[in-house]
Each structure stands twice: as C-alpha cells, then as structure tokens.
C-alpha cells in the first residue's frame, strides 16, 4: 500500500507539485499561488512590526499552517486521497481574506465588523501592483480559464467576422 515505485502511486508522484496534479489540482490548489503571494506581501509589510502585532501573528500562524499542511499532503506516501486537501481550507481562507474583504466597500466592512488595517490596505495595493505586472507576462494558457481559451480558439456562427489570424495558436492554448 506504499507510494509505489519511485513514489508514484494511485494519486500521483509525491513531491511539491502533487497538489497541482490531476487528482488534487481541481480542489482548492488553484488558490495556493495567490495565498502564498499575499502572505509574502504581508510578511514584507509587517516585518518591522512588534512581535505581538496581530496581523503578523495571524500571518505566521496561517501561512505556516498552509505551508506545513501542503507539504504533508504533497510528500505523503501510502494511502492519500484528494479529500485530504480540505485541511488547506482554513489557512487558505485566512490568507484569501485580503482581496475578499479589501475589495468590499468600507461601509460594508464596517457593517459586518470585518477588520481592515493599514497593513491590509498596503498589502492589497502591493498585490494589485504585482498582478498588473506579472499577469500580462504569463502564457495564455495560464491567463484564461479553459472554457475561455476554447471559446477564443473556436469560430462560432454568431460572430459577424472571423479574424484572418487566430489570436492564439493551438499549442499556446494547451
């Protein structure tokens, strides 16, 4: 019942990319890169904060929990199932708090009693700045949802005109 030859079992090979394979990748792994980037931005912004700073303590708690749980799931051998990825939900939720709450109007944040500090505001602005510079450099396959990539590649009868050259090549869309 081990991980199989070379660490590859029924749920894919062990390693840090296991959470992104076909078995685990369709769960909540798509949130991991954003959560890790947000955690890194908040860490930089709170690096000079006092040791008892709540934002920094929460970041270290939830970020450490996310990394630790992710590593355990990625490196586990033997019986491992994609539903174990649910253990990533609490730390992901805490780290995804930044864009979720930050994009709400301040009146709604106050109405629901959601905490928002200058660290949160600076981290959200930094994340937006970083996203605006990184996303255009990504390949089309990473920038668009699979359904959108298929829609862009296939001509449809309801289009008034079809461009002479397709916007993306078939290899770029895979």
pLDDT band at 110 (very low <50, low <70, confident <90, very high): very high
Burial 110-130 (b: 16+ CB within 10 A, else e): eeeeeebeebbeebbebbeee
pLDDT band at 3 (very low <50, low <70, confident <90, very high): very low
pLDDT band at 2 (very low <50, low <70, confident <90, very high): very low
- pLDDT tens sequence across 16-74: 778 877 777 777 777 888 788 878 877 887 788 777 777 788 888 888 999 999 888 88
Q: How far apart are the first and last CA of the chain?
A: 34
What's the pLDDT score for residue 171? 56
- pLDDT tens sequence across 119-167: 888 878 877 887 788 778 877 666 766 666 666 666 666 555 555 545 5
Q: Are 17 and 74 in contact (CB under 8 A)?
A: yes
What's the pLDDT score for residue 150? 67
């Amino acid at each position: 019942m081990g991980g199989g030859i070379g660490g590859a079992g029924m749920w894919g090979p062990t390693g840090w990319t296991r959470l992104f394979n076909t078995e685990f990748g369709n769960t909540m792994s798509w949130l991991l890169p954003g959560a890790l980037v947000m955690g890194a931005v908040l860490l930089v912004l709170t690096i000079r904060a006092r040791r008892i700073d709540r934002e920094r303590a929460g970041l270290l708690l939830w970020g450490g929990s996310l990394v630790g749980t992710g590593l355990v799931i990625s490196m586990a051998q033997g019986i491992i199932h994609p539903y174990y990825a649910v253990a990533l939900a609490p730390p992901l939720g805490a780290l995804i708090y930044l864009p979720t709450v930050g994009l709400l109007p301040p009146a709604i944040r106050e109405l629901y009693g959601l905490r928002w500090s200058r660290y949160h505001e600076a981290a959200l602005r930094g994340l937006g700045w970083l996203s605006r510079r990184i996303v255009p450099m990504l390949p089309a396959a990473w920038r668009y949802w699979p359904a959108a990539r298929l829609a862009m590649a296939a001509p449809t009868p309801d289009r008034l005109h079809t461009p002479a050259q397709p916007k993306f090549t078939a290899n770029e869309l895979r």
